[in-house]
Copies of this chain bind each other. A is one copy, B any other.
Amino acid sequence: MNRLAAQMQFLLTCDQLKNIIRTTTLHNGSRMENSAEHSWHLALMALTLAEHAPAGTDMNRVIQLLLLHDLVEIYAGDTFFDVSAADLQQQAEQEWQAAKQLFGLLPEDQQKHFLDLFEEFETQKTPEAQYARALDALQPMLLTWGQGGLGCTEKHPDLTMERLLKLKEKHLRRFPVLWEFVLELLQDAVKAGILHSTPGAEENASEHHPA
């Protein structure tokens, strides 16, 4: 019964992920997305887009990684993806401390299991972690610039198509089907006037955020 009590306390703490507000909106623009519903959407994407992952990818593990990957934000907060390398490094350290604190609520064996999953996602060495991260990179673009999307030029005037591609390519390019989809999505968004394009600016952009 002690294991169960610890697990329930963990699950109650995890409820706080519903109050972590991301920097992107829902597809209809009505409000900002929170990290709990974002995690659900990613897990559903993994289930729906399973056939586009490389053969042999364990989609159930992808889903597990996605269910857990943002939990550290309960203690460490969410970060916009377009930040400096130094900020990213600091964020990574905070998140590791947060993971130890949060998963530390669980029985010891399970603590290790969840920390392993979190570390697998963070270190990006397995096909499962890479596919999970690709979906995480794709989802906000789908909501923002997918059919009926509203863009975000007012809020992020400097986020051009070229800058986006530069920032996202390290996660998405290794999955050609997803990468092609993103290219078309953003090109259509530029044509529709909901995304700026500044050809030639990507070199400058890359200085802020090495791929």
Contact between chains at A48 and B148 (CB < 8 Å) = no
Binary per-residue interface labels of chain A (49-82) against chain B in the complex, 1 for a CB within 8 Å, 0 otherwise: 1011000000010011001100000000000000
A8 to B188 CA separation, bound complex (whole angstroms): 15
Contact between chains at B14 and A44 (CB < 8 Å) = yes
Contact between chains at B11 and A181 (CB < 8 Å) = no
Contact between chains at A48 and B15 (CB < 8 Å) = no
Q: In the assembly, how many copies of this chain are there?
A: 2
- Rounded to whole Å, the gap between the CB of A121 and the closest CB of chain B is 14
Main DSSP-derived SS at the A contact region: helix
A28 to B74 CA separation, bound complex (whole angstroms): 14
21 A-B residue pairings within 8 Å (CB atoms): A1-B180, A3-B51, A11-B48, A11-B142, A12-B27, A12-B146, A14-B44, A15-B26, A15-B143, A16-B27, A18-B41, A19-B26, A19-B28, A34-B37, A37-B40, A40-B43, A40-B67, A43-B43, A47-B68, A48-B110, A63-B63
